[in-house]
Structure 1
Amino acid sequence: MSTEPPEAGSQELAARPAGGTPLRDTRVPHMPFAWVSPLLAGAAAALVLRIAFGGLPGQRYSAMLGSFVFLAPAVCGAVTVYMAERIKRRGWGYYVCVPWVSTALFVLGTLLVYIEGIICAIVIVPLFSVMGSLGGLAMGIVCRITHWPKPALYGFAVLPLVLGAIEPHWPNPDQISRTSRTLFIAAPAERVWHELNDARDIRPSEVGDAWAYRIGVPMPVAGVTEDTPEGRVRKVQWQKNVHFEEIVTEWRPLQRVSWRYRFSPDSFPAGALDDHVVIGGHYFDLRDSAYTLTPREGGTELRIDVSWRVSTRFNWYADRVAQFLLGDFSEHILRFYKARSESAAAVA
Structure 2
Amino acid sequence: MLYGIFARLVFGLSTTQAWFHIMSFTFILGVPVSLGFIVVWFADPRRQRYSWLMKLFLPWSAAVIFLVACLVIAWEGLICVVLWLPLALVLSSVGAGLAMILQLLLPTDRSKNLCVAIVACAPFFSAPIESLHASPRQLRTVRTDIVIDASAEKVWEQIRSVPRIQPREQSWSMSHALGFPLPVEATIEGQGVGAVRHARFEGGVLFIETITEWQAPRKLAFSIVADTARIPPTTFDEHVTIGGDYFDVLRGAYEIEPLGPERVRLHLSSVQRLSTGFNFYAGLWTEWLMGDLQRYILRIIRSRCEGRG
TM-score, L = length of structure 2: 0.90
**1:114 matched to 2:37:** no
Q: Which residue of 2 aligns with 1:315?
A: 279
Is 1:55–1:62's contact at 8 Å kept on the other side of the alignment? no
Distance 1:130 1:204, change over 3 A: farther
- Equivalent residues in 2 for 1:287-302, closer than 5 Å: 287-297=250-260, 298-302=262-266
* 2: CA distance, partners of 1:208 / 1:280: 26
Give identity over the alignment, percent. Answer: 27
Task: Pick 1 or 2: higher relative contact order, CA cutoff 8 A, min separation 6.
Answer: 2
- Equivalent residues in 2 for 1:60-71, closer than 5 Å: 60-71=19-30
* 2: CA distance, partners of 1:248 / 1:326: 20
**1:84 matched to 2:43:** yes
* 2: CA distance, partners of 1:164 / 1:305: 36
In structure 1, which of residues 56, 73, 94 is the aligned counterpart of residue 54 of structure 2?
Answer: 94
**1:280 matched to 2:243:** yes
Gaps in structure 2 of 5+ consecutive residues = none
The amino acid of 1:334's aligned partner reads: L
Is 2:146–2:266's contact at 8 Å kept on the other side of the alignment? yes
**1:131 matched to 2:91:** yes
Give the superposition deviation at 1:267. Answer: 4.1
Distance 1:92 1:258, change over 3 A: same
* 2: CA distance, partners of 1:224 / 1:323: 26
TM-score, L = length of structure 1: 0.80
* 2: CA distance, partners of 1:267 / 1:197: 24
Q: Which residue of 2 aligns with 1:187?
A: 150
Gaps in structure 1 of 5+ consecutive residues = 1-42
Distance 1:175 1:207, change over 3 A: farther
Q: What RMSD in Å do the two structures reach over aligned CA positions?
A: 2.3
Is 2:194–2:212's contact at 8 Å kept on the other side of the alignment? no
Q: Which residue of 2 aligns with 1:331?
A: 295
* 2: CA distance, partners of 1:139 / 1:247: 54
* 1: CA distance, partners of 2:241 / 2:189: 25
Deviations 1:295-317 (Å, cap 9, x if unpaired)? Answer: 33222221112221222221211
Deviations 1:31-62 (Å, cap 9, x if unpaired)? Answer: xxxxxxxxxxxx11111100111156984311
In structure 2, which of residues 126, 129, 152 is the aligned counterpart of residue 163 of structure 1?
Answer: 126
The amino acid of 1:82's aligned partner reads: W
Give the superposition deviation at 1:200. Answer: 3.0
The amino acid of 2:212's aligned partner reads: T
Comparing 141-150 and 169-178, the one that deviates more: 141-150
Structure with higher Rg: it is 1
Give the superposition deviation at 1:204. Answer: 5.8
Q: Which residue of 1 aligns with 2:137?
A: 174
**1:47 matched to 2:11:** no
